[in-house]
Chain A
Amino acid sequence: MDYDVLVVGAGVTGCATAMELTKYTLRAGVLEAGEDVCTGTSKANSAIVHAGFDALPGSLKARFNVEGSRLMPALARRLDIPYRRNGALVLAFSPEERAGLEELLRRGRANGVEGLELLDRQALRQREPRVSPEAWGALYAPSSAIVCPFELTAAMAENAAANGARFHFGARVTAVRREGELWALETQAGCFRAPVVINAAGLGGGTLHNLVSREKVSLVPRKGEYCLLDRKVGGLVSHTIFQLPTRMGKGVLVTPTVHGNLLMGPTALDVEDPLATDTTAAGLDRVIQQARRSVPELPVNRVITSFAGLRAHPEGEESDFILGEAPGAPGFLDAIGMESPGLSAAPAVGAFLAESAAYLVRASVNRSYDGSRPAVCRPAELSPEERAELIRRRPEYGRIVCRCEQVSEGEILDAIRRCPGARSLDGVKRRTRAGMGRCQGGFCMPRVLELLSRELGLPPEEITKGGGGSRLLWGPTRKRGGEGE
């Protein structure tokens, strides 16, 4: 299949790029190895829109983080996704660490971050009473925010699709050839050609780059483990609370999420296996220990789940994003090494790459681009009158499927029917939160399974947790007509 621009990877960077590409008159296609958008690094991170004070001034990270952070509020509004500017605090635990805060303040100001301020112990405690009494002072960054990375990614993909971009799932790129002016990408779902390719393949981005470029890169999977706490304790702190960054990254943070949970993590450990998203006892212990250093009262018995994500870290210290044309590969644009602040930067990175691609294929501005997204129906956010009226028209919004997060059948059907829509239990969970609450899907899983089976026209035993071989069931029981009958 032929396109003007092919994006490899449907994570937050790939989807932002796809959305931005549809603002031009060109044919855009997205190739994704997984079964859904947002299944790699984008699904397991801190869900923070960073203010941009810790990147080295002049770096791509600094530029795109600050730009992305400025774009995010308007983007969240027009795509109808949860976003909240809750502010961040970087704690210092001794007078010696004051130098560290001052360095961040200097960097932040150089990067153009607004509103930065140093707080003494008293001002800190006033702003965030639950921080450790050991904290001696803090850097306050009011423009730091929290966002739902699942909904952000899915919403950008939906907007891209509504404006004509096509998504191909199960399309892992296995080989790249040059055919005249075109790049030919062999995938499990067929061969795709385009003069411009954008490499947003996350942890696979290094391998893809090395297939075409004379300058090789090496991406190291850097594992981060997290624990998520029950919403009952979500109000313990209101800011995103960091400690001073280290050589390995921003360190363990404690933050509320846009959905009212409390999140703590990540650790930072370089691993070899780019699929090693397993948590470890040592990692989870470390998360808890470090998080308690910032907020001693953290009720760790309220953990409802833990998870690990992998950042694509370019080898070397103070490494930067790798953005732009790969050396020796005309029309092959990289967006790799998108570790933190990759989520924050995504909207700005997407716009930059789309502009570069449009220039290369001589596309003009698409005047019929529609910046909105078909409205998302969230009954719980309506007034009682509006909700009652909605259920009168569409009774499926009246039946609650997920008790813990109070998600209705109507919302689950919407998630499956959207384009690109959910194809698996995790796809539904990321879009609707069904199964994300304190019972972790114990009650709603059989119901969501039934809805997926019905909507997709597949028998229940073919429904997966997250695509591939993640089938949820072995098959029918004996009585139901399985073996032994």
Chain B
Amino acid sequence: MISCDLAVIGAGPAGLAAAIAAREAGVEDILVLERDEAAGGILNQCIHSGFGLHTFQEELTGPEYAARFRARAEELGIPIRLGVMVLGLGSDRVLTLTSRERGLEQLRAGAVILAMGCRERPRGALNIPGYRPAGIYTAGTAQRLVNMEGLLPGREIVILGSGDIGLIMARRMTLEGAHVQCVAELLPYSGGLKRNIVQCLDDYGIPLRLSHTVVNIRGRERVEGVTLAQVGPDRRPVPGTEEDIPCDTLLLSVGLLPENELSEGAGVALDPVTGGPVVGEDFSTSVPGVFACGNALHVHDLVDFVSQEAAAAGRSAARFLKGGPPAGPVIPIRCRDGVRYTVPQHLAVEAMPPEVTVRFRVSAPFREKYLACYINGTRVFHGKKRIMAPGEMEQYTLRRAALPADAREIVFCVEED
């Protein structure tokens, strides 16, 4: 059995930021575990720009953003082990690792930060009928093939789902000489960032077909076409609206799911809405000494927020390792009416820092509606928002000074007026 003070699972943007912050807070013995052959996580395949506007006030590509954190980790001498897969995590913070170089190992960690990222929903999760030929990929797999392996999956493309990776890949495939017929979206609105719709679809004349879905896939060996149909308000296909689109490739961008098999194995309580761990304002999970951040916690729209949250998780792990004072009473942060979830899901009022950012997503697009915050049933905030959309994360800053001593519950919701 080997040991370390802090084990960080994943060297993507979350894991790197968490490890850096923990080291800056005084944790000496850190081990970052990465299953891929390079640190940087999903950013390594995101070669488009638009990263880091909040963090660095400049527009970087994914690999550039990752490189800054990698360089800082290197400067601090934080060891990052590559090509190592964590097979298991116990509630006693013992990790089982496997790698080519060192085989099977047990690692005992004083604290653990979960930063495994997320994965894409596959075709099977949608139960799209039809054949199962070659040429059906998730957008992220296609992105990896194109940007990292130099391989083009196909030439005539239909994209189902308007998540950000799907939008980015519509542009990327076009730049590679492929023809993107359309992006179909089941919902009456896009799940991606507005700026991506403009820069990746509108600028290239790629139609966004809202309230449409793929109801059949043709082709026994390779995709030969898909049937697109309009859906009604119940999201079921409307008979008679079917239209055949010949294509050789179907890309799917139909949702991201935090990867939490390890968390579940350790007994970490998960939030059924986010798919990630339930955490407090210090990003602690239900298992002592285990913290979560990044897309393993909840799926983010901007990497800048990932870095911020991960750094906070790293500092909390450092406090835990130093045996910080007990957190004291904890109150729930709830949501209703238009707010789908919040992170954190609870708050230790006495132990909280002066400011805590609560992040959340709304359940549908809202125009000219109010975001409200209630404490103990009393409305403490009521702010008008021009637009709120499920594709963009919202946030609200709770100030310790503004919390009453008897605070029992905090609730977020969207209100008409």
Contact = CB atoms under 8 A, between A and B. Distances in A.
Nearest to A450: B149
A483 B155 CA distance: 12
Given A464-B134, A477-B176, A303 B221 contact: no
Given A275-B220, A391-B104, A484-B177, A307 B146 contact: no
Contact of A477 (B98, B103, B150, B216): B150
Interface stretch (A348-356, A413-421, A468-476): A468-476
A304 B122 contact: yes
A396 B137 CA distance: 27
A391 B145 contact: no
Contacts of A284: 127, 129
Interface stretch (A64-72, A134-142, A313-321, A436-444): A436-444
A198 B222 CA distance: 32
Interface string B127-152: 10111111101101100111001111
Contacts of B123: 305, 440
Nearest to B144: A446
A11 interface: no
B398 interface: no
Contact of A395 (B85, B103, B132, B177): B103
A469 B146 CA distance: 21
B177 A483 contact: yes
B141 A445 contact: yes
B125 A470 contact: no
A480 interface: yes
A121 interface: no
The B contact surface, by secondary structure, is: mixed
B140 A303 contact: no
A473 B138 CA distance: 14
Interface string B58-99: 000000000000000000000000010101000000001011
Contacts of A445: 137, 141
A479 B150 contact: yes
A307 B215 CA distance: 15
B103 A391 contact: yes
A483 B129 CA distance: 34
Contacts of A108: none
Nearest to B88: A406
A59 interface: no
A387 B149 CA distance: 31
Given A303-B125, A392-B103, A399-B99, A439 B119 contact: yes
B277 interface: no
Nearest to B220: A275
B87 A442 contact: no
Range, interface on chain A: 35 or more
Given A470-B222, A482-B152, A398 B131 contact: no
A128 B298 CA distance: 37
A280 B131 CA distance: 9
Contacts of B150: 476-477, 479-480
A453 to B, nearest CB: 10
Given A306-B127, A392-B103, A483-B177, A439 B151 contact: no
B275 to A, nearest CB: 12
Given A303-B125, A303-B127, A387-B104, A478 B176 contact: yes
A465 interface: yes
B35 interface: yes
A471 B176 contact: no
Interface string B146-182: 1001111111000000000000000000001110000
B155 A398 contact: no
Contacts of B106: 384
Given A278-B131, A446-B149, A477-B152, A400 B120 contact: no
A279 B222 contact: no
Contacts of B102: 398
A121 B249 CA distance: 51
Contacts of A228: 124
B100 A395 contact: yes
A52 interface: no
Interface string A401-422: 0010010110000000000000
B212 to A, nearest CB: 15
B137 to A, nearest CB: 8
B98 A398 contact: yes
B185 interface: no
B309 interface: no
B181 to A, nearest CB: 15
Nearest first, the 6 A-B pairs at minimum CB distance are A480-B150, A305-B124, A391-B103, A440-B122, A465-B134, A469-B221
25 contacts: A277-B220, A278-B131, A281-B215, A303-B124, A304-B122, A304-B124, A305-B122, A306-B124, A387-B98, A395-B101, A398-B104, A400-B35, A403-B35, A406-B85, A439-B120, A440-B122, A440-B123, A442-B140, A450-B149, A468-B221, A472-B134, A473-B152, A474-B153, A474-B248, A477-B150
Given A278-B130, A469-B222, 8 more contacts: A280-B129, A379-B98, A387-B103, A446-B149, A473-B153, A474-B153, A474-B249, A475-B151
Interface of B: 35, 83, 85, 87, 96, 98-106, 119-120, 122-125, 127, 129-135, 137-138, 140-141, 144-146, 149-155, 176-178, 215-217, 220-222, 237, 248-249
Interface of A: 227-228, 275, 277-281, 283-284, 303-307, 379, 384, 387-388, 391-392, 395-396, 398-400, 403, 406, 408-409, 425, 438-443, 445-446, 450, 460-461, 464-466, 468-480, 482-484
